[in-house]
Structure 1
Amino acid sequence: MNHTDLSKQWDAKQWWIFFDDECMVCSFWVYIILKFEQEPRFYFGGLYAKETKEIFKIHGYKPSIDGVIFFHDNTFYSGARAIFEITHRLRYPFKLIYFLRLIPISISDFVYRMIAMIRWRPGKTYCRSSFLFKKNRVRW
Structure 2
Amino acid sequence: MRPLPAYSYHNDPTVPAFADDHPIIVFDGECIFCSGWVNVVLRHDRQGRYRFIPAQSPLGEALYRHYGLNNRDYETNILIEDGTAFFKSGGSLRMAAGLGFPWTLVNILRVIPRALRDPLYELVARNRYRIAGRRKSCFVPTPDHRGRFLASASRIRAC
With the shorter chain as reference, the TM-score category is: 0.7 to 0.9
Q: How does 1:2-13 map to 2 (within 5 A)?
A: 6-7=16-17, 10-13=18-21
- In structure 1, stretches of 5+ residues that fail to align are none
The reply on whether 1:47 has 2:58 as its aligned counterpart is no
Equivalent residue, structure 1, for 2:149: 138
Equivalent residue, structure 2, for 1:23: 31
In structure 1, distance between residues paired with 2:40 and 2:52: 13
SS state of the match for residue 17, structure 1?
strand
CA RMSD, aligned part only? 2.4
In structure 2, distance between residues paired with 1:122 and 1:86: 21
Per-residue deviation, 1:123? 9.4
Per-residue deviation, 1:133? 5.0
TM-score, normalisation: structure 2: 0.71
In structure 2, distance between residues paired with 1:122 and 1:15: 27
8 A Cα contact 2:30 2:134, kept in partner: no
Equivalent residue, structure 2, for 1:90: 99
SS state of the match for residue 138, structure 2?
coil
8 A Cα contact 2:53 2:150, kept in partner: yes
CA, structure 1 residues 99+133, in 2 after alignment: closer, same or farther (shift >3 Å)? farther
Per-residue deviation, 1:15? 0.5
C-alpha distance after superposition, 1:75-125 (max 9, x if no partner): 100000111111121133322112211210011101111111221229934
In structure 1, distance between residues paired with 2:132 and 2:118: 26
CA, structure 1 residues 43+133, in 2 after alignment: closer, same or farther (shift >3 Å)? farther
Q: Aligned letter for 2:141?
A: F
Equivalent residue in structure 1 for 2:126, among 101, 117, 123: 117
8 A Cα contact 1:38 1:89, kept in partner: no
Higher helix share: 1
In structure 2, distance between residues paired with 1:123 and 1:34: 19
Q: Aligned letter for 2:148?
A: R
Identity over aligned residues, as a percent? Answer: 22
8 A Cα contact 2:35 2:139, kept in partner: yes
Q: Aligned letter for 1:61?
A: Y
Q: Aligned letter for 1:24?
A: I
CA, structure 1 residues 113+122, in 2 after alignment: closer, same or farther (shift >3 Å)? closer
